[in-house]
Structure 1
Amino acid sequence: MDALLTALADPARWRLVGLLAERPRSVGVLAQLAGARQPQTTKHLQTLERAGVVTSQRTGQRRVYALQADPLRELATALNRLADTVDQAGAYEAFGQHGLSLAAERLAADEPGWADARSFKFQRSIAGSPDLVWRHLTEPALLERWWTPDDLRISELVFEARPGGRLLLEYRDAEDLDGTDQIAGRAEGVVTAVRPGEHLAYRNSPLLPDGSHAFTAHVDLALRPSGTGTELDVDFRITGSTVESADFIAGIELGFGQSLDQLAAAVAASTDTPRSTP
């Protein structure tokens, strides 16, 4: 497959493939139709033959080349398989949505405070008791399982579940296992309200490269029991927005929504594993 892709990548050889798709042709005729010199055409055809996409035979004084259909079908199958993988994964749909949001927010970020009236509301029905959900919201070992979007992982986390408690979150690409890639983001904040099993609030500020705050997120989470587990309501409010905060704010709705989906999945999975008794 590598040899085939290399052979087809050259525009001149691709032109010859198109001509041979119509019918077998001699080297001289192919050179005329392609507008190239015959020695160059011969070299290109030899490359295509080594890759298995064309075959040749001598007829009298001429060498005639013909296209092989099977390698092209195999390539088409491989490309279709890749396209199907993209469609099934759904990641590129989110990537496209995020791109549109980036463009809109960058256009709107024209002065400090541009997004200070912005708020986002989220709601999730979670298959777990309020106590279990609370543990996932406040215990660092459980927070690590969900508190980033799908494509990120937590590399450093501090969460002190008490009023005035410190909050620190650093995250990297989920596939950056050895930490050689750049940090994807870092945020710091403080816990402002704690009522176990019922209410949690904190302030959280993503950091810009110079260490200053991009904006401050005021996050308020309310839990209430339901017949199937817990209803979680989240209010996400922005203050102190800077012009440089546009890229961060563009990802809130999609990214925080993905995190809450992962929270629901983590809680549902943990209901199958009883908590160990100290």
Structure 2
Amino acid sequence: MDVLLAALADPARRRLVTLLAERPRPVGVLAELAGARQPQTTKHLQTLERAGLVTAQRTGQRRVYALQPGPLRELAAEVSRLAEAAERAGADFARHGLSLDAERLAAAADGWADDRSFRFHRSLTGPADQVWRHLTEAALLARWWTPDDLRVSQLVFEARPGGRIVQEYRDAEDLGGTDVVVGRAEGAVVEVRPGEHLRYRLSPLLPDGSVAFTAHVEFELRPTSAGTGLDVHYRITDSTIDSADFVAGIELGFGQSLDKLAATVSQRSLT
């Protein structure tokens, strides 16, 4: 693929490929149509031939070149896969961008997002006790408690009333800790009913260490025929003007985290 892309990187060679896509042509005609000297054209055609893009036949005194469709189809398939991946990733990026613009516009004064709430539901395949462990044990929490592009780099979760919560997160690919910390949040557990109900408050911190807002998060678990039904209520208080970027990411980011939770529990249920 690298050889193919290198061969197509030159505009003169792409012009020859375009001409040969119409029909096979001899070197002299290609040079004339491309507005180039024949020796240059021959060199370009040799490069294209080494890349597998063209093949040649000698007919009398003429050397006629034809385009090979196979490598172009492979390139088209690879570009199509990249485009589809970019479309999937770009959809969330664009959605988050729209949310950022809207929340920044709405954040006109402190308290602007107070009592804003979000509700989530997930049907999980594991039993309630297994789901509970993923909600309260730090080692299991770290597997899912961030959106797709982030990872937990520090986590404290003391699953008792008044217990301390610390969550620090970095870029998912920053395994060496060379980039900046993306975010940090601190809070406390409020209510615990093992296997049934968990409530805590958690405050994302601004770069200066002050509170952006306080999230009041409640998890309700109930057994179902397929495993466990999970309902989450996420409510905001103490919002500051500077919390707009955090608020903009809640629906998408927390939703992605819960999707990771569902996938993690499902995998453990199969083992």
Normalised-by-shorter TM-score class: 0.7 to 0.9
Q: Does the 8 Å contact 1:187/1:204 carry over to 2?
A: yes
Please give the secondary structure, in 2, of the residue aligned with 1:109: helix
The Cα of 1:122 is off from its aligned counterpart by 1.4
Q: Which of residues 90, 103, 107 is equivalent to 1:108? A: 103
Within 5 Å, give how 1:14-53 maps onto structure 2. Answer: 14-53=14-53
Code of the residue aligned with 1:106 in structure 2: it is D
The Cα of 1:79 is off from its aligned counterpart by 4.3
Equivalent-residue separation in structure 2 for 1:28 and 1:194 (angstroms)? 83
Aligned to 2:69: 69
Q: Which of residues 229, 236, 245 is equivalent to 1:231? A: 229
Equivalent-residue separation in structure 1 for 2:263 and 2:73 (angstroms)? 41
- State the TM-score, normalizing by the size of structure 2: 0.80
Unaligned runs of 5+ in 1: 274-278
Unaligned runs of 5+ in 2: none
Equivalent-residue separation in structure 2 for 1:56 and 1:29 (angstroms)? 14
Is 1:165 matched with 2:156? no
Q: Does the 8 Å contact 1:102/1:246 carry over to 2?
A: no
Query: How many residue pairs are counted as aligned between the two chains?
Result: 268
Amino-acid identity (%): 69
Aligned to 2:13: 13
Q: Does the 8 Å contact 2:103/2:248 carry over to 1?
A: no
Within 5 Å, give how 1:1-278 maps onto structure 2. Answer: 1-57=1-57, 63-79=63-79, 82=81, 86=84, 92-93=87-88, 95-110=90-105, 111-112=108-109, 113-226=111-224, 229-270=227-268
Code of the residue aligned with 2:9 in structure 1: it is A
1:200-220 alpha-carbon deviations (Å, 9 max, x no partner):
222222233343333322212
CA change 1:52–1:170 in 2 (3 A) is same
Equivalent-residue separation in structure 1 for 2:225 and 2:58 (angstroms)? 81
The Cα of 1:69 is off from its aligned counterpart by 2.9
Equivalent-residue separation in structure 2 for 1:167 and 1:77 (angstroms)? 47
The Cα of 1:19 is off from its aligned counterpart by 0.3
What is the RMSD of the two structures over their aligned residues, measured on CA atoms? 3.2
CA change 1:133–1:163 in 2 (3 A) is same
Please give the secondary structure, in 1, of the residue aligned with 2:185: strand
Q: Does the 8 Å contact 2:136/2:159 carry over to 1?
A: yes
Code of the residue aligned with 1:193 in structure 2: it is E
1:40-67 alpha-carbon deviations (Å, 9 max, x no partner):
4333223212222123455666544332
Equivalent-residue separation in structure 1 for 2:146 and 2:235 (angstroms)? 18
Q: Does the 8 Å contact 2:99/2:249 carry over to 1?
A: no
1:61-114 alpha-carbon deviations (Å, 9 max, x no partner):
65443322333334344445x359x46xxx853641342232233233132444
Equivalent-residue separation in structure 1 for 2:88 and 2:257 (angstroms)? 17
CA change 1:24–1:131 in 2 (3 A) is closer
Code of the residue aligned with 2:31 in structure 1: it is A
Equivalent-residue separation in structure 2 for 1:237 and 1:116 (angstroms)? 8
Equivalent-residue separation in structure 2 for 1:236 and 1:158 (angstroms)? 20
The Cα of 1:157 is off from its aligned counterpart by 0.5
CA change 1:60–1:133 in 2 (3 A) is closer
Equivalent-residue separation in structure 2 for 1:94 and 1:76 (angstroms)? 20
Please give the secondary structure, in 1, of the residue aligned with 2:199: strand
